[in-house]
Amino acid sequence: MVKTPWILMCPPRFYGIEYEINPWMNRRVKSDPDKAARQWQALHDALIGLGAAVELLEPVEGLPDLVFTANAGLVYRDLFLSSRFRYGERQGETPVFDRWFAEHGFRVEHTPDGMHFEGAGDALFCGETLFAGYRFRSDARTMSWVGDRLGVEVLPLELVDPRYYHLDTCFCPIAPNAAIYFPGAFDEYGRSVLQDRIWTLIEVSAEEAFSFSCNAVVVGRSVLLNRGAPKLARELERLGFAAVPLDLTEFIKAGGSAKCLTFRLDGEDAASWRTAASAATG
């Protein structure tokens, strides 16, 4: 029995560009609150339409990036490994996320002091392996610690383009042996690791990566992503996936898109541990 996808989102009531902590943010380029709300709602409704159960986190004034729930932490079975944000502007989100996860039955743990870790933004399972981005937000040594804590193989990948500051902006597992990625976001070693370890690796062009097409949400065989990636959509459909394009331009102003706006509470579809857990309970 396949479990119902379980996703955490946060309405964009207090979302806005209030500071600059990545190259996409510019306080002079304001977000449109009404448009952002419509775009967020369209993503929410599309997920519901695909059969997902969506939990809502209460927005908090003064935490504009709380809407990007993907950065809350990392879930592995019933463990929630909470993020330790690099920038002070986002550190106030941690107690909000910790409280929610504790209230919903997760064991909440943190990385050691000084070890920056930005959750599912930089840590993504593809099969049994945890692919881990580092440099701009998370630390390489932290990712090794995460692997030891979870008892899983971790492959650290250095990010080299500050526009793709989180792994989920340039890499998206779509099945336990398949992923999409933008090669220009990685160094030569990182590209070789991805090419060696993932059977089906779909290369995204620089133009389509710039539209945040890699920052996608996968629900079964459906891939929800920002509009502006027709080549990727065709390739996904050739492989038997359904591309679901959405307008998420208001969130790209802050450096996020569909994946950033969601957190899979039950584990990503591409994670083998989730599939095994589902089979065991079925």
> pLDDT by residue (tens digit) across 142-195?
999 999 999 999 999 999 999 999 999 999 999 999 999 999 999 999 999 999
Residue with tokens 């209460």: 58
Q: How many CA within 13 A on the CB side of residue 219?
A: 26
Cα separation, 200 vs 31, in Å, equals: 37
In a domain, 267, yes or no: yes
Q: Which of 156, 160, 186, 161 is nearest to 171 (CA)?
A: 186
- Catalytic annotation on 116? no
Pairing of strands 6-9, 53-56: parallel
Residues 116, 126, 166, 214: which is the catalytic one? 166
Tell me what pLDDT residue 157 has.
98
Domain containing 163 equals: 6-281
Tell me what pLDDT residue 3 has.
77
What is the mean pLDDT of the segment spanning 6-22? 98
Residue 239 has pLDDT above 90, yes or no: yes
What is the mean pLDDT of the segment spanning 65-71? 98
Tell me what pLDDT residue 276 has.
64
Residue 279 has pLDDT above 60, yes or no: no
What is the mean pLDDT of the segment spanning 43-70? 98
Tell me what pLDDT residue 280 has.
44
What is the mean pLDDT of the segment spanning 73-96? 98
Tell me what pLDDT residue 2 has.
58
Name the phi and psi angles at 71, rounded to 5.
-90, 5
In a domain, 1, yes or no: no
- Catalytic annotation on 214? no
Cα separation, 77 vs 56, in Å, equals: 20
Residues 10, 172, 214, 260: which is the catalytic one? 260
Residue 1 has pLDDT above 80, yes or no: no
Tell me what pLDDT residue 274 has.
84
Structure token pair of residue 186: 């990685």
Tell me what pLDDT residue 67 has.
98
Mean pLDDT of the chain: 96
Residue 30 has pLDDT above 60, yes or no: yes
Please give the tally of structural domains in the chain.
Answer: 1
In a domain, 13, yes or no: yes
Q: Could you tell me the CATH number of the domain that includes residue 69? A: 3.75.10.10
In a domain, 21, yes or no: yes
In a domain, 26, yes or no: yes
Residue 13 has pLDDT above 70, yes or no: yes
Cα separation, 257 vs 224, in Å, equals: 10
What is the mean pLDDT of the segment spanning 11-22? 98
